[in-house]
Amino acid sequence: MSFNQNINKYWNYLEQKYPAPIYVGQVKYMEFEDLKKAIDNKNENYLKKIIKNMYVKREAYILRNSAKKKT
């Protein structure tokens, strides 16, 4: 299975196993570069952890430094 298929399969698994989040429990900050690196390196474990935190623990992420300050 490809990386994208594995991530989508995991997301679908969480949707079937847990109720959909109704509210945000906690807001966290994440560096855009860290997320980009995880996607580029196909770091499934890291991304699955983020997805689970978002869906199960109701965490929301604000990406820092995702655009240049002049933009």
What's the total number of domains in the chain?
1
Q: Residue 52 has which token pair?
A: 């689970």
Q: What pLDDT is stored for residue 69 in this prediction?
A: 83
Question: What's the domain range around 33?
Answer: 3-64
Q: What pLDDT is stored for residue 28 in this prediction?
A: 97
Query: Model pTM?
Result: 0.84
Q: Which residues of the chain have pLDDT under 50?
A: none
Q: What pLDDT is stored for residue 60 in this prediction?
A: 97
- The Cα 71–Cα 59 span in angstroms is 27
Q: What pLDDT is stored for residue 6 in this prediction?
A: 95
Q: Is residue 71 part of a domain?
A: no
User: What burial class does residue 41 get, using C-beta atoms within 10 Å of its C-beta: 0-12 exposed, 13-18 middle, 19+ buried?
Assistant: exposed
Q: What pLDDT is stored for residue 71 in this prediction?
A: 76
- The Cα 36–Cα 57 span in angstroms is 22
Phi/psi for 30 (5° steps) reads: -140, 140
